Structure 1
C-alpha cells in the first residue's frame, strides 16, 4: 500500500542557502501530487515547518550545526527538530540537514579530516528496505567538510571512500543524506559560482567539476524518483 496518500499534500522545505533548493526533487513531488512550500532559515519562523505533521525536508548550507553563536537561529531550529524527531514525523535531511538530524538525535557533528567535494560512488549497505539501493554503482555529488557519528538506533544506509557515515535512517520516517541527491545538471553552475571560494581553497578544478556534472548528473536525476517513492511507501504515517 502506498502510505504517501495519507500524508498532507504539501512538502515543507527549510532552505539555508538560496541556490541549495529541492532541485530535481521538486518536480518529483509535483508529479506525485504534492505542493511545495519553502521556509528561509535565519529569516522565517521555522516552527510551522518543524511542527508540521506532513513531510519536512531540511536542506543544505555552508554553516556548521555547532556555530550557534554566529547563527543563533540554529538554537531554535535544533530544538524544534529534536521535538519533531521525538514525535517521529516524516523528515528528510540533506547535507547540513543530515548533520542537524544527527545532532538533534544526540550524535556528535564535527569538522572532518578533509573536504569531500565532487562526484563519487557510494557503498550501499545491504540492509532491509534500503531506499538508496537504486544508487548502487551511481556517482552522487558530495559537498561538505563536516561529518557526524551515527546516532544511536540509526541504521547506516551508505558510506563513501572518505567518510563512513553518508546516509542513515531512523525507523521508516526519518532519512538523513550527507550527499546531494537533489542536484540537477542545469542548476550546477550556480553551485560553482556560489561556492567559488571554497572550491579554490580546496584546490579543486572548476572545469573538472563542471565536466563531471555533465557526465553524472542526469543518471542521478533518473534515480531520484524511485528513491523518493520508496521512502514515501515505507512511511508509517499517523497524525500527531
Structure 2
C-alpha cells in the first residue's frame, strides 16, 4: 500500500491519534521552511494529512514552504486523493481551493462545542454538536463549491468538504498525552494565564474520554478512503 503523506509544521503539533488510526504506512515531512521542497508525487501516496502550526497560512515570506503545500493540496483535490487538513492544514486547504484567509478573525482556545450543519461520512461520528478542542485565531472562508459541515459563532467555517478533502479547524488529533505536551509548550501557552491553562486541563479530563473514541471513528472513515485508493 502506498504511504499517507503527513505534513507537519512544528515538532509539537504532530499527527497525534491520526497516524496510528490510518492502518497504512506514514511518511511525515516538514517542509514549511523550504522554498522549493521535494514532495512525493501524488501517484506515490494514498492520502495527504496536513497538521496545525502557529504560523499564518498565507505567510509565504516567513514560511516559504507553505506555497508548495497549497499547490500540493490543490492538485490532490483535482486528482481525487483523500485529504485531511487540521487547523492550519484546513486553512491551507481552503486557500488552495480559492478561499480567503482572515488573520486574527477571532480567538478560540479550549474545549467548546461546534454545530455540525451537514452530513459527512468522515466527520459524522463526532455527532451533531460535539465538544472539541479549539486553538486558533485565524479563520478561512468557505471555498467555492465546498460544503459547509460545521460552524461556531466566532468561526463560521469550522469544517468543510471539498470533493476528496475534509478540512477541520478544530483539533481531532488530540489525545491526553498530546494535550499535556501543548500545555507545557511555551509557544502554545504564551497568551494563556494559569487559570485558563487549568480550565483547559480539567476540560480535557472531562471531554477527551468522549471525544477521543469519536475521533478514532473519524480517522477510520478517512482511512477507509485511503484504503480505497490503495
The Cα of 1:43 is off from its aligned counterpart by 5.6
Matched, 1:97 2:89: yes
Counterpart among 116, 122, 130 of residue 114 in structure 2: 122
Quote the Cα distance in structure 1 between the aligned partners of 2:140 and 2:41.
Answer: 24
- Which of 108-117 and 14-23 deviates more? 108-117
Q: Which residue of 2 aligns with 1:27?
A: 20
Q: Which residue of 1 aligns with 2:132?
A: 140
Q: Which residue of 2 aligns with 1:64?
A: 56
- In the alignment, structure 2 segments of 5+ residues that lack a partner are none
The Cα of 1:77 is off from its aligned counterpart by 2.2
The Cα of 1:235 is off from its aligned counterpart by 6.6
The Cα of 1:19 is off from its aligned counterpart by 1.3
Matched, 1:175 2:166: yes
Q: Which residue of 2 aligns with 1:40?
A: 30
- Assess, with a 3 A threshold, how the Cα gap between structure 1 residues 212 and 179 changes in structure 2: closer, same or farther: same
* Structure 2 counterpart SS, 1:62: coil
Quote the Cα distance in structure 2 between the aligned partners of 1:77 and 1:132.
Answer: 23
Q: Which residue of 2 aligns with 1:10?
A: 3
**1:16-51 deviation per Cα after TM superposition (whole angstroms, max 9, x unaligned):** 01111111122212xx3x122210123673511766
RMSD of equivalent CA atoms: 2.3
Quote the Cα distance in structure 1 between the aligned partners of 2:107 and 2:78.
Answer: 31
Task: Decide whether the 8 Å contact of 1:14 with 1:49 is kept in 2.
Answer: no
The Cα of 1:216 is off from its aligned counterpart by 1.0
Q: Which residue of 2 aligns with 1:88?
A: 80
Counterpart among 175, 179, 182 of residue 188 in structure 1: 179
Quote the Cα distance in structure 2 between the aligned partners of 1:204 and 1:110.
Answer: 28
Counterpart among 138, 146, 149 of residue 157 in structure 1: 149
Quote the Cα distance in structure 1 between the aligned partners of 2:227 and 2:215.
Answer: 21
- Which of 142-151 and 77-86 deviates more? 77-86
Task: Decide whether the 8 Å contact of 2:99 with 2:140 is kept in 1.
Answer: yes
Quote the Cα distance in structure 2 between the aligned partners of 1:191 and 1:89.
Answer: 30
- In the alignment, structure 1 segments of 5+ residues that lack a partner are 1-7
Counterpart among 226, 229, 238 of residue 217 in structure 2: 226
Matched, 1:214 2:205: yes
The Cα of 1:204 is off from its aligned counterpart by 6.4
Task: Decide whether the 8 Å contact of 1:93 with 1:176 is kept in 2.
Answer: yes
